[in-house]
Amino acid sequence: MYYSNAENFKGTTGYIIDDVWYPRVTSIINIKSKPALYYFYAELPSFRHGEDIKKQSADEGTKVHEAVQAILTGQEPEIDPTVLPAVTAFRKYLAENNIQVDPDFIEKRVVSFNERYAGTIDALALIDGRFGILDIKTSQAIYRDYNLQTAAYFPPLQEHFKNLQTRWILRIDQRERCLKCGSTRRTKGGREKIKRPVNNKIKGVNSTNCLHEWSEMTGEIELKEFPYWQDDYQAFLGAKKLWEWEHDYWLKQIGYL
């Protein structure tokens, strides 16, 4: 990553809160290598292509986040048709499950004054009587890396909320399903990915040469709880140390180190 000057570095990687600069949790976590990204880029004609897909995919994620946060605060937002199946599935999930959210703690800034970093939580929620951090993802699966992020929010939030117990990832996604072979098709950032069923043969139809017949786009919701945050938090602090080492030139320039 290239930074043109100290202001550019500060703006790209952190927040200023009460005149003090703090590195962002998501910037820090980026120090961890993501081998899956090599495969992603390798399948594309150019690096630029990959950047465009990531950008568009992030925009789609933002649309889902905004819609979900509005719904959680009791509003009736207008939903962009491209994310409607996912948001509709979320509404249904919300109606069928015991989830309450404090409107004052949606998209809320969290600062660790002890360890000097800041981040933004999606929500604080009460789910089945347990109180915790709720983070929303629009990915095709729940990845372990997400736990670094929510662990970082835990200690600073716990100072304000002694009753903070747990954390969840709520995954909201949408895909089509082949009515003949069970393959799924997911379009993200303008790129389509077809996933064959694991055993490759459902109802005797081989998915390899199936002329797929796609269902309509259907939303899917997955909620997973990760109550044990301490090990993840230690890993986050390790990542932060490495991130500071990597950026010591700029961090010294701006007086952080």
Contacts to Zn ion from residues 55-94, by CB under 5 A: none
CA distances from 178 to 38, 59, 162, 181 (A): 28, 27, 48, 6
Candidates 26-34, 59-67, 80-88, 179-187; binding stretch for Zn ion (CB under 5 A): 179-187
Closest CA relative to residue 37, chosen from 16, 51, 24: 51
Of 93 and 214, which CB lies nearer to Zn ion in the complex structure? 214
Strands 130-137 and 166-177: parallel
Kindly tell me which of 205 and 235 has the beta carbon lying closer to Zn ion.
205
Pick between residue 111 and residue 202 the one whose CB is nearest to Zn ion. 202
With CB under 5 A as the contact rule, the residue among 106, 178, 237, 239 that binds Zn ion is 178
Q: Under the criterion CB under 5 A, does residue 210 sit at the interface with Zn ion?
A: yes
Structure-derived torsion over alpha carbons of residues 101, 106, 111, 115, reported in degrees to the nearest 10: 60
Total interface residues for Zn ion by CB under 5 A = 6
Element (H, E) at 235: helix 230-246
Question: Which residue carries 């996604």 as its tokens?
Answer: 173
In the complex, least distance from residue 203 CB atom to Zn ion, rounded to whole angstroms: 10
State how far the Cα of 10 lies from the Cα of 23, in Å rounded to an integer.
Answer: 8
Distance CA 249, CA 256 (A): 10
- Interface with Zn ion (CB under 5 A), residue from 175, 177, 212, 240: 212
Spatial distance between the Cα atoms of 26 and 14, rounded to a whole number of angstroms: 9
- What does the per-residue mask of binding to Zn ion show for 123-162, with x meaning CB under 5 A? ----------------------------------------
Exactly one of 24, 49, 180, 185 binds Zn ion (CB under 5 A); that residue is 180
Among 68, 121, 181, 239, binds Zn ion (CB under 5 A): 181
Whichever of 204 and 255 has its CB closer to Zn ion, that residue is: 204
Which is nearer to Zn ion, 42 or 211 (by Cβ)?
A: 211
Rounded Cα gap, residues 223 and 32, in angstroms: 24
List contacts with Zn ion (CB under 5 A): 178, 180-181, 183, 210, 212
